[in-house]
Structure 1
């Protein structure tokens, strides 16, 4: 699939560009008062939107959704646009240099799709900053809703800052038996998809958008944004007729640009708690994304 995003969308990205740049710059400067931060932090609230319909439609099309899936509502993973600035602000509160931070994964719980024609109210907080000796884990949580759909979504985003001199590896824990997987679909990433996703979300990190920078990395190319991997994997699962109420994803290996025929796989049978394992596999057999989904909300989340 090849979708070209118009450059005119960059006019919608100023808040995210400024937010990401500001958080990265502040984190790189020397700090006073030590290296501690209290979690969970005091909540931060923001009122956002409504967002341009052309941007929402282009974002959904890039992710692989059919034209009628999100008529009048926001895709569940559209927080990669509306939440980017706030997540950058929250992550930037951790006393570490975020220029080295990598996206580790996220969890999306969707109770109801938010209407696209209403402003959304977002409440965010920094929930965890912890060090295991090899990396610093920084987790943020967003709660979002509108007037007609309060508490529509809860989202957790996890970033990690690698240690320059990492400690010893933890002993591997015994792993659970691998479930049987069914391939439910494929998607491919074009060389231009890093720039396309940046124009849709405002994340212009040169690792995703500038070929000369990508060629100097060990991947020898730009890599696709983690949230872009998530969006296309999510929509491939939905295109297979599988409902998604909770989506948990952990990024294992980056997706180089371009990459063809990435296989989206879902466990044939759910686990005892109702979750179904998911994964994204390259043609070379490498694992790019792993996680779980729930088709319905249960218990306290319902």
Structure 2
């Protein structure tokens, strides 16, 4: 296993994001400590945090934005917030061969082994291995393990697509959700949702914040965070999902803000399938499945 670089506490959110974005700035990307190494020979990188305390105020703020009830255990998707600074630290490390700007979050898988309590002190580690082939570039799997007293409590794999040159190998199929549910309830999403979610999550990517910053990066206007669409989808069935569970999603078309989405969920033999779609044409924004009644497994799809 790769030795992990240690982050002390949670680094400043803006500073971390800026550092991760610097390799995309012409000229600056040639400076020592910013200049990226070649992808050839990249074998992996890991960062870790110790004693990350789950704070009541932040959990409650996150729950309110994502539609979860206030409880003494955290929402299923909340530990991603503890891992996000590690994702940014990895992307900002000169040893990681790709700039953070241009990384597209395409899939996410979460396995909760048990409920995580508010007030718990947790150790968090994120590893990324060599890139995998994809038809449009490469895939990078950011695998996070959250432990308490050396026992795993929560795991996730966030898969990012980097468009461009690929690597040798045969691309593998992504997450498939056959016959996803359609229609369902409609949610009207405000234009400031990205800024609101950024304030509780620390993810202040400009594509989520304002029409001007989103257009500068190729979007007609700001878009919702993928992890918000996942969290809101899970919150809708939260009272019917056990503590030990696996949730897998594929992020499809972005959700433009302000906007309206349709959400539907259906119970099946494995657990649940769910979808967030465009109510005008049924185009999917997110497709997902929940596996219950089985032994929890690591959320890796390699």
TM-score interval w.r.t. the shorter chain?
A: 0.7 to 0.9
Partner of 1:263: 262
User: What is the DSSP-based 3-state SS (H/G/I as helix, E as strand, rest coil) of the residue aligned with 1:188?
Assistant: strand
> For the Cα contact (< 8 Å) 1:48–1:82, is it kept in 2?
no
Partner of 2:6: none
Partner of 2:220: 220
User: What is the DSSP-based 3-state SS (H/G/I as helix, E as strand, rest coil) of the residue aligned with 2:77?
Assistant: helix
> For the Cα contact (< 8 Å) 1:139–1:156, is it kept in 2?
yes
Partner of 1:247: 247
Residue 38 (structure 2) pairs with residue 34 (structure 1): yes
Residue 292 (structure 2) pairs with residue 289 (structure 1): no
Report the CA distance shift for 1:243/1:33 in structure 2 as closer, same or farther (over 3 A).
closer
Summarize the alignment of residues 5-24 of structure 1 with structure 2, pairs less than 5 Å apart: 15-24=12-21
Residue 129 (structure 2) pairs with residue 127 (structure 1): yes
Partner of 2:198: 198
Whichever structure has more helix as a proportion of its residues is: 1
Q: d(CA) in 2 for partners of 1:88 and 1:144?
A: 17
The offset of 1:81, in angstroms, is 1.9
Cα displacement string for residues 85-133 of structure 1 (whole angstroms, at most 9, x for unaligned residues) = 1012234443123211111121110011222212110122113412335
Q: d(CA) in 2 for partners of 1:231 and 1:132?
A: 26
Q: d(CA) in 2 for partners of 1:250 and 1:177?
A: 9
* Runs of 4+, deviation exceeding 6 Å: none
Q: 1:113 aligns with which of 101, 112, 115?
A: 115
Report the CA distance shift for 1:292/1:161 in structure 2 as closer, same or farther (over 3 A).
same
> For the Cα contact (< 8 Å) 2:177–2:287, is it kept in 1?
no
Report the CA distance shift for 1:146/1:207 in structure 2 as closer, same or farther (over 3 A).
same
> For the Cα contact (< 8 Å) 1:246–1:296, is it kept in 2?
no
> For the Cα contact (< 8 Å) 1:226–1:251, is it kept in 2?
yes
Gap regions ≥5 residues in structure 2: 1-8
The offset of 1:59, in angstroms, is 0.5
User: What is the DSSP-based 3-state SS (H/G/I as helix, E as strand, rest coil) of the residue aligned with 1:291?
Assistant: strand
Q: d(CA) in 2 for partners of 1:248 and 1:268?
A: 15
Report the CA distance shift for 1:222/1:66 in structure 2 as closer, same or farther (over 3 A).
same
- TM score, norm. by length of structure 2: 0.78
Report the CA distance shift for 1:217/1:235 in structure 2 as closer, same or farther (over 3 A).
same
